Amino acid sequence: MFRYRSEFYSFVKIRSLLHVYYRFVATDTPYQQRNSLEELCEQVDICDGILLADAIEQIEVPREDDPAWETYEAVRHSAIVYGNEIHFLYRQRSYWISHTSEGRSHFSDDLGNTQDFPSCRDLFQFARIDGKSLKDLWKEVVVDAC
């Protein structure tokens, strides 16, 4: 996982019995797959018409202890792309995001309240705490696990 500007992306190497593929994965667009990293860099836009090859100089991989991993964008990418469960605190209450094998996502709190969504992407768009979206309140969140 890496950051370009303020968004997070991933490269994934896929091995089949006969071939190796490389994928570029953005949070909100379908992944792009090519036969080599070189093809990905030369043929795929990271955003706004900028080729991966042209963006390489500005790509950042934050250190393991960097708070960038706890930003809304990083946590959202981690949950949507990798299916990671997320645990966090907000105003002395515990919350978590979990996923089912059918692709549904649940947003729960320590009082037993649960909001159910057809996808993780929908959860991040529509989940609310006290009427606020996750994005709007994220600066007050402390991430426990991601």
Task: Specify the pLDDT at position 107.
Answer: 98
DSSP secondary-structure letter at 73? H
Share of the chain above pLDDT 70, in %: 100
Domain ranges in the chain are 2-58, 67-145
d(CA 80, CA 28): 9
Q: For residue range 2-59, list pLDDT tens digits in order.
A: 999 999 999 999 999 999 999 999 999 999 999 999 999 999 999 899 999 999 999 9
d(CA 103, CA 115): 14
pLDDT category, 145, cuts 50, 70, 90?
A: confident
Q: What residues does 65 pair with on adjacent strands?
A: none
pTM for this predicted structure: 0.89
Task: Specify the pLDDT at position 91.
Answer: 95
**Distance of CA 12 to CAs 37, 41, 61, 75, 97, Å?**
10, 13, 15, 18, 23
